[in-house]
Structure formats: structure tokens, C-alpha cells
Amino acid sequence: MSKSRTLRDGLNGSEVIRLVGAHSALSAKLGQDAGFEAIWASGLEISASRALPDANVLSMAECLEAAAQIADAVDVPVLADCDSGFGGVGNVAHMVRSYQARGLAGVCIEDKQFPKLNSFVEGHQDLAPIGDFAAKITAAKEARTGEDFVVVARIEAFIAGAGLDEALRRATVYEAAGADALLIHSKLSTPEEVFAFRAAYTGALPVIVVPTTYPQVTAAELTERRFGGVIYANQGLRAAISAMRDVLGQIGAAGSTHAVEGSIATLKDVFALQNVDALLARQERHDALTAQYAALG
């Protein structure tokens, strides 16, 4: 089964599929090892890993390379955060062909104007005209190869302060345009808005949420309320920042690594994540074959 089909089936399954944010091959492997069913190639995480704002500063090629490295590193599906599609319908079509060719299971595009601004940054959030964004969804679907590659339409109506009715209106149009799933976003400290959307939405598409600002909600509760997916979009990056800041601060203050050695990963852990054992096994086989073929001469 293809990774795209696995992702599609997961979003339409009886239990919510859990995706975790990643910005690198290493962070994706850690997410897979933790048991998440899929990976979210996060625009915020990828931008932050370059110490840049999540505001379309990186090009499509730069985001694609990061997402492809993530997809290459794991066996589970990877859904790529593609902001507002990197431009118009032509850009979106090129994006889909490129991401699919590099092994991504699907893409998610949001209905904000280019250049977008991260949804949690204070400031005005401009929604794209509904017709323009729906045309991007159709362009994405027409550009894909086969029927499995997943196109997610991300609705930013709550982020922009446009309300439930606008979110539902956009959901209906995006479903008609061919979206495979909807992502409904909110920055409230409770899941009130996304729960209201799920209760009122009568369409057939799975609905995904990102509980960054309402962490109290559980996957079990989301399953009960008929959501299709949940994305833990940036907690891994934030944990890494806190851990590195703490450890490096201790080393700098003490002038020694002694105090932190017991709390950081061992080199053995690092080598395991790098698949060093597989490398050594290949080298051993190569050496044996070299000796065998040399003897024939």
C-alpha cells in the first residue's frame, strides 16, 4: 500500500490519525519511533530551523527539500505544510507534481493571501478570496498522479476572525472543488470553535485539527467527536529549543559538560538514529566480497 493510501485511509478511519510535526529527518524518525501514525512536515518548524519567520520567506524548493528529507527518513506517511501554495494555480500544480515525485503522501494548503503569516503571530490575517482558493484546490487535484495523493484544504476563517458561518461556507466550496480533507484552525485556548465547526459541518470530508493553543483536548475525545486527524504541529521543536537552551546554558556556566552528561542522549543513541549498524554491516559484506573476488583473479 502506498503512503498516500495509508494517509487517506487513516484520515477516513474509525479513530483519529495522529500526526506529529518535524523539521528534519532526525526529528521525523523520533516522531515515528514515538508511535505517531504520520508526520507533519511543518512550515513553522522548517522555517524556525533556519532561524527565519514562518511567512513565505523560504522558497518552494527549500521547503520541498526539507520535506523530502523527512519523507526519505521514515516509513510512515508525511503530509507537507505548503502554506498558501507558493503562488497561483500554476505554482500549486507545479508544487503538487514536485512533492508527489519526492515521496510526500499529501500536501496541505491554507486559504490566506500570499505571503502568509503564521496563524499565531499577532497581526492582521488576510483570507484569500474563496473562488481563488477553490481554484487552487482543483489545480492541485488535477496535477496529481493517481487517486491516492491527499490534498488538504486548511480553513483560516477563525484565525482571521471571520466566524463559523464563513468557515462552513468555505468548507462547502472547498469540498466541491475536490479537497480530500479539511483542516480547521483556531487560536482559542479551548476547542470551542473547532468543536462547533465539526458539529455543524454536514459534508463528507474528514476534518483535521491542530490543538496548539488548546492542549487539553485528547485524541480519544477527537475520535468521539468524529474528527479524522490531529496534528501536534510544533511541540517537538519547542521541546528541543528548551532542552538545548538549558543544556548549553549549564555547560557555558560551568565550563564543563560533566553536569549534563546524565541527561542528554548517548552517542550510542545518536548512532542508532543514524543507522550506523547497517552501514557497518554493508562495509563488512563489501570487505568479504572484495576478498572473494580477489581470490578469483
**What is the count of structural domains for the chain?**
2
pLDDT top residue among 92 and 292: 92
Predicted local confidence at residue 181, as pLDDT: 99
pLDDT of residue 287 exceeding 80: yes
Catalytic residue among 9, 33, 54, 126: 54
27 shares a domain with 172: yes
278 shares a domain with 166: no
Q: What is the pTM of this model?
A: 0.95
pLDDT of residue 145 exceeding 80: yes
- % pLDDT > 90, the chain: 92
265 shares a domain with 216: no
Predicted local confidence at residue 122, as pLDDT: 85
pLDDT per residue as tens digits for the range 206-219: 999 999 999 999 99
263 shares a domain with 229: no
User: Average of pLDDT values for 159-183?
Assistant: 98
* Residue where a domain terminates, one of 180, 213, 233: 233
* Residue where a domain terminates, one of 233, 251, 276: 233
267 shares a domain with 156: no
Instruction: Clarify whether 54 is annotated catalytic.
Output: yes
248 shares a domain with 222: no
Strands (E), 136-259: 150-155, 181-184, 207-209, 229-232
226 shares a domain with 101: yes
pLDDT per residue as tens digits for the range 228-278: 999 999 999 999 999 999 999 999 999 999 999 999 999 999 999 999 999
174 shares a domain with 44: yes
Asked if residue 163 lies in contact with residue 188, where contact means CB atoms within 8 angstroms, the answer is no
187 shares a domain with 279: no
Give the integer Cα–Cα distance in Å for 217 and 7.
22
Give the integer Cα–Cα distance in Å for 237 and 27.
8
CA dihedral over 105, 110, 111, 112, signed as positive or negative: negative
Predicted local confidence at residue 84, as pLDDT: 96
User: Average of pLDDT values for 165-189?
Assistant: 99
Predicted local confidence at residue 140, as pLDDT: 99
pLDDT per residue as tens digits for the range 116-141: 889 989 878 899 999 999 999 999 99
Give the integer Cα–Cα distance in Å for 99 and 89.
15
User: Average of pLDDT values for 163-172?
Assistant: 99
